[in-house]
């Protein structure tokens, strides 16, 4: 069943469909939040829980004809993250810096895990700049190792359409990544 | 692959390669390397799943919405709706009569259900008493390293935990004290051995030095095993064994022995066995005792050194940022980083402009050590006399990037504002107290209110 069918079933109270949707997207939501809250598993768990609970509570308002389930979940996650960062950005700054080893009072030079940490941030910003559908396509392809057929089944699209999305997503990624890396002068 | 494709910065050139196959690999490699490295635990996933199912079961479903799997509406399918549809065919007199019979039947059912309720278990009685407790103190010893702990808790949220490792500290007093004067109040860690103290921000939720006791307060059901009765500190107590996974799936699994005072129903002794790695025996738990409020006073002893880490948004942070921007402008010939977002390119450029090497690796890697060595090498190419200044400037530039990532109200205008733009805002971010820190083109820094910020932005 594709996402739209599953959502309608969940709206009708079907728990099996909820389980399928949950299994499909919980790791994607986790990745999104975890990458924005590096080094803090507890906060990530809290925000992932809040995201899904808010989603299930507001599920009757979601119309699958107006957007993808992933986009909707990511929207809820973004709001939760924004609220969280507003409340705690200072503490998050601290923890993020420590987790990435950037602020190291004992080192005399720039901390050396910086390259990896900042490259990660660049990838993160690049993904944030993509359309939700493009982002999901890349995640499904490269992180979940789904075949085009499996992606098509999930998204309720044809294989050709998925291939087109993937092609577009790679192009968008390349452009956005270059933009992140290049001067604007 | 031709070497020149990876110069000067391999990460960006790597994803701009025209060859589609290579590009696939690069995008995938970058994502796998830098995105979503950690995974949620199965335990967390299962717990959230169960929460969602409960939420779904408890949430009101819209009337008449169709279940696509069966094509049948909830309203039509539910037994209640079948009944109401059936009763809809009766006249008022019959409906009243039926509702009376229904109410009587419900009452009988309730009485019958109550008569079947199982007797309250010893664990549940204990949980109820723990929830009523106003204070406690306990002394515990960790049997492997002989670390001694004394905990104090005073309702609602005052906590003190004294810890001593006898191999390091002989006294007087405890080696370390953690004092939480209450919820939403800063707490303090006092180290008597090092003669230091460290303050921490308020905790967002309650805290108990013996959290297991809090968890017992939520416990229902029976223990896994009963141990009989024995006398502890002159009081008759009954012993039970519980697998902690039944109390809280998130705490490390261990079998816990608990002895409960027969009279008060409160625990007087706990013994935990963490599968051989550490055994903690908790002794002498005293409940509802009078505790001196001075125990929870977070004032550090006189003469102790404050080792509280300074928050990054302090004057020091502003100073670092200004130093970074000034150094960058001097090295670049008169402009700040002309970007919308300050990132690794910006800080890497600064190192290069100061005479260092290229900080970027030839290939993306998750090997932090390799990355570290590479940056050290690039940094060490800066003339030695300049390295101290370069290090601080580098930290300042990196800090701008972090502010942009983590502070939703941050803005940087280096693309259009230069050192000669005296009154123009170069960088701003929001502080915890709701005000804003602003750095101008001439590198003056000012803390302003939201209203003042709007006035500056309006210029």
Q: Taking CB atoms and an 8 Å cutoff, what residues of chain B touch A91?
A: 201
For residue B349, report the phi and psi dihedrals to the nearest 5 degrees.
-60, -40
CB contact (8 A) between residue B359 and residue A115: yes
The residue whose two tokens read 């004092």 is B179
Residues A176 and A140 in one domain: yes
Residues A10 and A30 in one domain: yes
Q: Cα separation of B125 and B130, whole Å?
A: 9
Residues A6 and A87 in one domain: yes
The residue whose two tokens read 């080792």 is B307
Q: Who wins on pLDDT, B272 or A135? A: A135
Q: Cα separation of B77 and B73, whole Å?
A: 6
Residues A54 and A116 in one domain: no
Outline where DSSP puts E strands in B8-94.
66-67, 72-73
Residue where a domain stops, chosen among B53, B86, B115: B115
Mean pLDDT of the region B153-172: 85
Residues A143 and A85 in one domain: no
pLDDT at B76: 31
Sign of CA dihedral A32, A38, A39, A44: negative
Residue where a domain stops, chosen among A51, A70, A100: A100
Q: How far is B289 from chain A (nearest CA, A)?
A: 34
CB contact (8 A) between residue B35 and residue A108: no
pLDDT at A93: 41
Residues A24 and A61 in one domain: yes
Residues B323 and B454 in one domain: yes
B375 within some domain: yes
A132 within some domain: yes
Looking at this predicted complex, what is its ipTM? 0.76
Q: pLDDT for B300-354, tens place per residue?
A: 999 998 876 555 456 778 888 999 999 999 888 889 998 877 877 788 888 888 8
Residue where a domain stops, chosen among B267, B296, B325: B296
Mean pLDDT of chain B: 72
Q: Taking CB atoms and an 8 Å cutoff, what residues of chain A touch B368?
A: 101, 112-113, 116
Can you tell me whether residue B223 is helix, strand or coil?
Answer: coil
For residue B159, report the phi and psi dihedrals to the nearest 5 degrees.
-140, 145
Chains A, B: CB pairs < 8 Å: 234
pLDDT at A39: 64
Residue where a domain stops, chosen among B262, B296, B330: B296
Query: Where residue A15 sits, what CATH number does that domain have?
Result: 1.10.1740.10
Residues B328 and B274 in one domain: no
* Residue among A97, A182, A131, A155 nearest B345 (CA): A182
A167 within some domain: yes
Say whether the peptide bond before residue B8 is cis (omega within 30 degrees of 0): yes
A23 within some domain: yes
Tokens of B52: 């969602």
Domain tally for chain B?
4
Residues B282 and B191 in one domain: yes
pLDDT at B236: 92
Task: Evaluate if residue B244 carries a pLDDT over 50.
Answer: yes
Q: What's the pLDDT band for B367 if we cut at 50, 70, 90?
A: low
Residues 324-363 of B with CB under 8 A from A: 338-341, 343-345, 347, 351, 359-361
pLDDT at B186: 78
Mean pLDDT by 10 residues, chain A (185 residues): 83 86 89 76 87 88 78 85 68 38 29 50 77 84 83 83 86 77 42
Residue where a domain stops, chosen among A82, A100, A118: A100
Radius of gyration from C-alpha coordinates of chain B: 33
Q: Taking CB atoms and an 8 Å cutoff, what residues of chain A touch B407?
A: 85, 89, 93
pLDDT at A90: 39
pLDDT at B326: 93
A105 within some domain: no
Residues A161 and A143 in one domain: yes
Can you tell me whether residue B438 is helix, strand or coil?
Answer: strand
CB contact (8 A) between residue B351 and residue A182: no
Q: How far is A49 from chain B (nearest CA, A)?
A: 6
B50 within some domain: no
B200 within some domain: yes
Residues A143 and A172 in one domain: yes
Q: Does B219 touch chain A (CB under 8 A)?
A: no
Residues B139 and B103 in one domain: no
Residues B292 and B330 in one domain: no
Residues B186 and B98 in one domain: no
pLDDT at B439: 94
Q: B278: exposed, middle or buried (C-beta count within 10 Å: 0-12, 13-18, 19+)?
A: middle
CB contact (8 A) between residue A125 and residue B343: yes
Q: Does B34 touch chain A (CB under 8 A)?
A: yes
The residue whose two tokens read 């020149």 is B4
pLDDT at A104: 30
Tell which of A116, A125, A130, A170 to mutate to test the B interface (max B CBs under 10 Å): A116
Q: Taking CB atoms and an 8 Å cutoff, what residues of chain A touch B312?
A: 90, 93-94, 97, 103
Residues B176 and B255 in one domain: yes
Q: How far is B9 from chain A (nearest CA, A)?
A: 9
CB contact (8 A) between residue A119 and residue B11: yes
Q: Cα separation of B283 and B236, whole Å?
A: 15
B236 within some domain: yes
B45 within some domain: no
Residues B161 and B241 in one domain: yes
Q: Taking CB atoms and an 8 Å cutoff, what residues of chain A touch B371?
A: 112-116
Residues B182 and B93 in one domain: no
Query: Where residue B144 sits, what CATH number does that domain have?
Result: 2.50.20.20
Domain that holds residue B103: 74-115
Q: Taking CB atoms and an 8 Å cutoff, what residues of chain B touch A11?
A: 61-62, 65
Instruction: Out of B133-147, B252-266, B409-423, give the one with best mean pLDDT.
Output: B409-423
Nearest CB to B55; choose among A19, A56, A127: A56
Domain that holds residue A2: 1-100
Residues B209 and B80 in one domain: no
A121 within some domain: yes
For residue B173, report the phi and psi dihedrals to the nearest 5 degrees.
75, 180
Residues B374 and B277 in one domain: no
Residues A55 and A115 in one domain: no
Q: Taking CB atoms and an 8 Å cutoff, what residues of chain B touch A168?
A: none
Domain tally for chain A?
2
A7 within some domain: yes
Q: How far is B109 from chain A (nearest CA, A)?
A: 28
Q: pLDDT for B409-452, tens place per residue?
A: 889 999 889 999 888 899 998 887 788 899 999 999 988 888 88
A38 within some domain: yes
The helix (H) or strand (E) run that includes residue B22 is helix B20-34
Can you tell me whether residue A80 is helix, strand or coil?
Answer: helix
Q: pLDDT for B184-198, tens place per residue?
A: 777 888 989 888 888
Q: What's the pLDDT band for B180 if we cut at 50, 70, 90?
A: confident
A119 within some domain: yes
Q: Taking CB atoms and an 8 Å cutoff, what residues of chain B touch A44?
A: 38, 40
Q: What is the DSSP string of B142-210?
A: ETTTTEEEEEEEETTTEEEEEEE-TTT---SS-SEEEEE-STTS-EEEEETTTTEEEEEPPPSS---TT
Q: pLDDT for B117-139, tens place per residue?
A: 444 577 778 878 887 888 899 88
pLDDT at B444: 92
Residues A122 and A159 in one domain: yes
Residues A136 and A76 in one domain: no
Query: Where residue A144 sits, what CATH number does that domain have?
Result: 1.10.10.10
Residue where a domain stops, chosen among A100, A135, A153: A100
Q: Taking CB atoms and an 8 Å cutoff, what residues of chain A touch B408?
A: 82, 85-86, 89
- B22-to-A138, A151, B25, B390, B421 alpha-carbon distances in Å: 15, 22, 5, 37, 45
CB contact (8 A) between residue A57 and residue B55: yes
Mean pLDDT of the region B52-62: 68
Residues A83 and A165 in one domain: no
For residue B377, report the phi and psi dihedrals to the nearest 5 degrees.
-60, -45
Residues B281 and B376 in one domain: no
Q: pLDDT for B197-214, tens place per residue?
A: 887 766 544 555 555 565
Tell which of A6, A90, A115 to mutate to test the B interface (max B CBs under 10 Å): A115
């Amino acid at each position: 069943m594709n996402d739209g069918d599953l959502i309608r079933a969940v709206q009708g109270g079907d728990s099996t469909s909820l389980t399928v949707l949950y299994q499909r997207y919980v790791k994607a939501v986790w990745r999104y939040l975890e990458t924005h809250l590096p080094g803090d598993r507890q906060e990530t768990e809290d925000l992932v829980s809040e995201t899904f609970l808010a989603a299930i509570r507001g599920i009757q308002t979601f119309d699958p004809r107006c957007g993808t389930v992933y986009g909707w979940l990511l929207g809820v996650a973004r709001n939760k993250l924004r609220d969280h960062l507003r409340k705690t950005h200072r503490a998050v700054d601290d923890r993020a810096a420590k987790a990435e080893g950037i602020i190291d009072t004992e080192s005399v030079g720039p901390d050396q895990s910086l390259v990896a940490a900042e490259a990660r941030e660049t990838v993160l910003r690049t993904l944030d700049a993509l359309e939700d559908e493009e982002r999901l396509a890349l995640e499904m392809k490269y992180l979940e190792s789904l075949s085009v057929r499996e992606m098509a089944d999930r998204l309720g699209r044809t294989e050709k359409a998925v291939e087109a999305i993937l092609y577009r997503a790679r192009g968008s990624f390349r452009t956005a990544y270059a933009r992140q890396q290049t001067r604007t002068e | 692959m031709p070497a020149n494709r990876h110069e000067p910065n391999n990460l960006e050139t790597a994803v701009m390669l025209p060859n589609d196959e290579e590009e696939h690999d690069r995008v995938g490699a970058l994502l796998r390397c830098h995105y979503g490295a950690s995974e949620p635990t199965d335990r967390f996933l299962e717990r959230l799943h169960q929460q969602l199912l409960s939420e779904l079961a408890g949430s009101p479903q819209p009337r008449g919405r169709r279940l696509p799997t069966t094509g049948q509406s909830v309203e039509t399918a539910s037994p209640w709706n079948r009944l109401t549809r059936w009763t809809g065919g009766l006249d008022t007199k019959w409906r009243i009569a039926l509702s009376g019979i229904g109410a009587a039947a419900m009452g009988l059912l309730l009485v019958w259900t109550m008569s079947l309720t199982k007797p309250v278990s010893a664990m549940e009685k204990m949980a109820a008493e723990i929830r009523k407790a106003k204070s406690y103190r306990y002394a515990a010893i960790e049997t492997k390293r002989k670390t001694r702990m004394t905990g104090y808790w005073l309702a609602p949220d005052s906590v003190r935990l004294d810890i001593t490792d006898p191999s390091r500290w002989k006294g007087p007093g405890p080696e370390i004290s953690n004092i939480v004067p209450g919820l939403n109040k800063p707490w303090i860690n006092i180290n008597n051995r090092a003669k230091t103290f460290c303050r921490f921000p308020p905790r967002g939720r309650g805290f108990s030095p013996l959290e297991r006791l809090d968890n017992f307060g939520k416990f229902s059901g029976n223990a896994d095993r009963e141990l009989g009765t024995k006398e502890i500190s002159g009081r008759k107590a009954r012993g039970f064994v519980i697998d902690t996974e039944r109390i809280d799936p998130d705490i490390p699994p261990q079998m816990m022995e608990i002895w409960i005072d027969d009279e008060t129903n409160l625990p007087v002794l706990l013994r935990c066995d963490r599968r051989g790695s550490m055994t903690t025996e908790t002794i002498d738990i005293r409940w509802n005792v009078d505790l001196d409020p001075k125990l929870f006073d977070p004032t550090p002893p006189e003469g102790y050194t404050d080792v509280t880490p300074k928050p990054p948004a302090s004057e020091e942070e502003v100073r670092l940022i200004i130093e970074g921007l000034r150094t960058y402008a001097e090295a670049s010939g008169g402009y700040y980083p002309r970007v919308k977002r300050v990132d690794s390119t910006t800080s890497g450029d600064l190192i290069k402009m100061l005479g260092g090497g290229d900080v970027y690796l030839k290939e993306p890697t998750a090997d932090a050590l390799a990355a570290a060595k590479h940056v050290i090498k690039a940094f060490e190419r800066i003339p030695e006399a300049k390295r101290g200044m370069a290090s601080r400037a580098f930290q300042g530039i990196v800090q701008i990037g972090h502010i942009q990532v983590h502070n939703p109200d941050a803005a940087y205008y280096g693309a259009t504002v230069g050192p000669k733009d005296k009154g123009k805002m170069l960088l701003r971010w929001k502080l915890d107290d709701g005000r804003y820190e602003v750095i101008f083109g001439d590198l003056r820094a000012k803390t302003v209110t939201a209203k003042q910020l709007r006035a500056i932005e309006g210029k």
